[in-house]
Amino acid sequence: MAGNRNLNAASRAKKDEFYTQIRDIENEMYHYQHHFKDKVVLCNCDDPYESDFFKYFMIYFNQLGLRKVIATCYAGSPIVQTELDFFGTQNYNPHFDKRTQAIKLEVTEVTDLNGDGAADLADVKLLLENNRNVVTYLEGNGDFRSPECVDALKEADIVVTNPPFSLFREYVAQLVAHDKKFLIIGNKNAITYKEIFPLIKDNKMWTGYRPWSGGMWFISTAEDFDKVVDGKKLKNAAAVWFTNLDVRKRHEDILLFKRYAEEPELFPRYDNYDAIEVSKTAFIPCDYFGVMGVPITFLDKYNPAQFEIVGNAGSYGVDGYSLCPALYIGGKKIYKRILIRRRRND
Ligand SMILES: C[S@@+](CC[C@H](N)C(=O)[O-])C[C@H]1O[C@@H](n2cnc3c(N)ncnc32)[C@H](O)[C@@H]1O
């Protein structure tokens, strides 16, 4: 799949410059708004002058009832001269060059500063221009692991961003170590990483509302973009949202219409593990209560009240979570599978 290839290449080359589009943030955030009242939100991989995450939280600051938004910027990010640049980076502060200087922005209110009857981005721009207290020049480079950024993390209730794909494992480990709520974007294959899968299995992290199919379109600074829309270079990546915020989708049952008793040939047994193969999530039989191997896209539909995740197969060695290194049927290796079992007979 083109998206998969793109993202793997990005990870290898540490090309982490995929910029999220505001409509994707709006579409996902719509399902979590109730979690955000009175909360401190941190966007810690986000140049506030360019990131649509920061822009989103400014636009929706009052609607969400936020207490504070903090954004930290990584020195070294390229300047993306797109419409993302809503404050006009070049003109706003001639002393700030994000290629060398990291900053932290802290906003605690968005009010109608210009008196035009609305509290909107024009007011945020005024706030940043007139109130230098909202901007802190960081001593370090704004790395999310640096002490200054970890202090910001400690202050935050919820972290929302699209972190660098190449540092996803470390990024999530830090969130978990600090016991933070989060809504972040990552490569869907991250699910099988040995650092990530245990979190999924133990229901400490799940994928978000947006369906997995089709990947996501990001604004790219690279030259190998897939298409140009409205002057923006867009690149498709096999990305999904990851979160530990509850979302309605996670409580919806998968409708099961196949019957194992009627079509057992559709569900062959693995050579090397006591489970049946279910090649498509839609084919999960309603009358089978043993272990089943399903594609990882099952997680897009996973309801933990309906199914238990037993383990993982095919991506890394045998351990507490990966029950066998790979599954075989008739000597043929089967692509990555998640091993599941029905919880209820209903
Ligand atoms: C995938 S991009 C996403 C940017 C932005 N969050 C968005 O969604 O539009 C990841 C960003 O993290 C920055 N970054 C890379 N390494 C970082 C680090 N160690 N700490 C913080 N940010 C980092 C990159 O420069 C890049 O701007």
Q: What is the rounded CA–CA span in Å between residue 152 and residue 74? A: 14
Query: Which residue range is the domain that position 64 belongs to?
Result: 2-250
What is the distance in angstroms between the CA of the first residue and the CA of the last residue of the chain? Answer: 37
pLDDT tens readout for residues 155-183: 999 999 999 999 999 999 999 999 999 99
Atom 18 of ligand 1, nearest CA residue: 143
Query: Are residues 71 and 48 in contact, defined by beta-carbon separation less than 8 angstroms?
Result: yes
> Helices H, strands E: what count in the chain?
9, 19
Residues listed for the chain: 346
Ligand 1, CB within 6 Å, residue ranges: 16-20, 45-46, 51-53, 74, 77, 142-144, 161-164, 167
Based on the domain organization, do 243 and 260 belong to the same domain?
no
Residue 177 exposed, middle or buried by CB count within 10 Å (0-12, 13-18, 19+)? exposed
Based on the domain organization, do 159 and 246 belong to the same domain?
yes
Q: What is the rounded CA–CA span in Å between residue 177 and residue 180? A: 8
Distance 45 CA to ligand 1 centre (A): 4
pLDDT the model gives residue 179? 98
Domain count, the chain: 2
Based on the domain organization, do 238 and 334 belong to the same domain?
no
Q: Got the DSSP string for 154-188? A: HH-SEEEE---GGGHHHHHHHHHHTT-EEEEEEEG
Based on the domain organization, do 141 and 272 belong to the same domain?
no
Based on the domain organization, do 166 and 276 belong to the same domain?
no
Q: What is the rounded CA–CA span in Å between residue 60 and residue 230? A: 24
The residue to mutate among 45, 175, 242, having the most atoms of ligand 1 within 8 angstroms of its beta carbon, is 45
Low-confidence ranges of the chain (pLDDT < 50): 1-3, 5-7, 9-14, 81-86, 88-95, 317-319
pLDDT tens readout for residues 18-49: 899 999 999 999 999 999 999 999 999 998 87
Distance 19 CA to ligand 1 centre (A): 8
271: how many CB neighbours lie within 10 A of its CB?
Answer: 13
Q: Which of 200, 222, 250 represents a domain boundary (last residue)?
A: 250
Based on the domain organization, do 214 and 304 belong to the same domain?
no
pLDDT the model gives residue 56? 96
pLDDT the model gives residue 12? 46
pLDDT the model gives residue 17? 77
Based on the domain organization, do 98 and 233 belong to the same domain?
yes
Locate 273 and state its tokens.
Answer: 């593990």
Based on the domain organization, do 244 and 127 belong to the same domain?
yes
Q: What is the rounded CA–CA span in Å between residue 160 and residue 222? A: 24
Based on the domain organization, do 213 and 67 belong to the same domain?
yes
Q: Which of 250, 270, 299 represents a domain boundary (last residue)?
A: 250
Q: Which of 250, 268, 299 represents a domain boundary (last residue)?
A: 250
Based on the domain organization, do 142 and 276 belong to the same domain?
no
Based on the domain organization, do 59 and 115 belong to the same domain?
yes
- Ligand 1 atom with the shortest distance to the CA of 51: 9
In sequence order, the 6+-apart residues with CB closer than 8 A to the CB of 13 are: none
CA 249, chain centre distance (Å): 16
Based on the domain organization, do 216 and 294 belong to the same domain?
no
Distance 241 CA to ligand 1 centre (A): 16
Place of tokens 């210009």: 114
